[in-house]
Structure formats: C-alpha cells, structure tokens
A and B are shown apart, each in its own frame.
Chain A
Amino acid sequence: MLLGRLADAAGGELAVEAGPWGEVLASLPLALQQALAGTRWRMACNGGLVGDPSTLVLQAGDELALLPPVSGG
C-alpha cells in the first residue's frame, strides 16, 4: 500500500516477497527507493505503525503501507 506521491513513484500498488525490510526495500523499483531516500516517511504493517522499519520482518499476507509526510486540512 503506497500513499501520496510514493504511489506515483512506484506506478501503483506493489506485491513484494516476504522477508526482512532490508531485502524488501532492495527489491522495490528504483524510483520508489529514491523517493524513500529523499523524504521522511513512516511505515505501517497490517494497519499498525512500525516504530523502527529495520526490525520489521514481513510475513506472507502482511499488508505494508509506506506513508510520506502528511498534508491535511
């Protein structure tokens, strides 16, 4: 699940292989990796915020959401 301009960078939603976040990140399209490197972002796994993405190990069937800086109101 990709929100805001991160969705544009990836060209839509993505399915990724289960595994540690470092491996998931490396498997993402280059444009999305570059977008993530250039901004502050948060991550949610199955709807819950992840404090430290480096500790995440994605399981099969998990929904990962990448959340760029918000702009509401």
Chain B
Amino acid sequence: MAVDVRLLGEAFDPAEAVRAFAAAHLQSGGVVSFIGQVRGGDDVEALELQHYAPLTLPAMQALGADIAARWPLDGVLVVHRYGVMLPGEPIVLVAAASRHRRDAFAAADYAMDHLKAESWFWKREKRGGQWAWVQPREQDYSDLARWG
C-alpha cells in the first residue's frame, strides 16, 4: 500500500496530482479525492497557513500510516500547502484508492477531519488589509470525535 504525503510551500495542481494517483493505481476500482481551496466570493483577500517544520510533516506521515492501517486501501495521497494563498487556490488534497469505493470515501473523510482538527497548522485570513488568526471551530472537534 503506497502512502504519499507532501507538505508544499508552492502552488500545486490537484487535478494533475489526482490523475497521476489514479494512473498509479489501475488495480483500484475506486479513487476518491477531496480538494480544499481558499474560499472566494466573500471579503477574504488572502489566507496564510503557518506550519512548524519539526512537527507538521512527521504528524502528516503518521496520519498516512494510521489511515493505511485502518482501511484496506491500495494507496493514499495527502498534499497540504503552507504559505500565502489567494481565493481559489488549492490548500489541501486528499485521495484514496481502493478496490471498493466505501473504504476510499471513509479514508478520505477521516484524513480531512484529522487534518482540520489535529494537524500542526495555524491559519490566518486577510480582510480589508488586516490579518486575523482563525480560531478552530467546535464543528472541527465534533467531526473528529465521530471516529472514536
């Protein structure tokens, strides 16, 4: 089972990453992907994700291993940005490939809940020229609690 975890400081193309991931797992009947992008259309001008190098990537790799142990997947891909992003830019991509679709859906859902509530990232938004830190939402913790 292939676990591919990447922490990127530069923009990436999630569609190309999913295409390559699916092509690398031709034996999988199902490939599920989730893309998180900077919300546009409201007054957010930019988003910045800060990370702490000694913890952030190692914890993402541990999450990948955890997912691999929980579901019979053929592969899992986790790509997460840090740095400054503009509306519409991808922040995170999670993809899971499995023989049957339900395992892939569950694995991608689990990965996102853990990235949102447990990964070592700090997010701030720029509105009206002013940066403000984003507090974690209660919903993020209750989403996480679903997994027991």
Contacts from A to B (Cβ < 8 Å): 1, 3-5, 8, 44, 46-49, 65, 67-73
B18 close to chain A: CB less than 8 A:
no
7 tightest CB-CB pairs across the interface, nearest first?
A47-B54, A72-B121, A4-B122, A73-B116, A5-B133, A72-B119, A71-B123
B119 in contact with A73 (CB, 8 Å): yes
Q: B106-130: contact bitstring with A at CB < 8 Å (1 yes, 0 no)?
A: 0000001001111111111000000
Bound-complex Cα distance A70 to B114 (A):
11
B54→A72 contact, CB < 8 A: no
A66 to B122, CA, bound (A): 12
Given known contacts A4-B133, A73-B115, what 9 new A-B pairs fall within 8 Å (CB)? A47-B54, A70-B119, A71-B116, A72-B80, A72-B115, A72-B116, A72-B117, A73-B36, A73-B112
Docked complex Cα distance between A8 and B133 (Å): 10
Expressed in whole angstroms, the Cα–Cα distance for A1 and B112 within the complex equals 27
Residues of B within 8 A of A68 (CB): 122, 133
Q: Is the interface of A mostly helix, strand, loop or mixed?
A: loop
Q: With A69-B135, A70-B121, A71-B122 known to touch, is A3 a contact of B50 (CB < 8 Å)?
A: yes
Pick from A46, A65, A68, A70 the residue with the most CB of B within 10 Å.
A70
Task: Please report the C-alpha to C-alpha distance between residue A30 and residue B103 in the assembled complex, in whole angstroms.
Answer: 50
Of B52, B112, B118, B121, the residue contacting A65 (CB under 8 A) is B52
Known contacts: A44-B52, A44-B55, A47-B55. The answer to whether A70 contacts B118 by CB under 8 A is: yes
Chain A contacts of B123 at CB under 8 A?
A: 71-72
Q: Which residues of A contact B91 (CB under 8 A)?
A: 73
Complex interface: chain B residues within 8 A of A47 (CB)? 53-55
Q: Is the CB of B133 within 8 A of A70?
A: no
Say yes or no: B119 contacts A3, CB within 8 Å.
no
Are the CB atoms of B55 and A72 closer together than 8 Å?
no
**Residue interface mask B76-101, A partner, CB < 8 A = 1:** 00001000000000011000000000
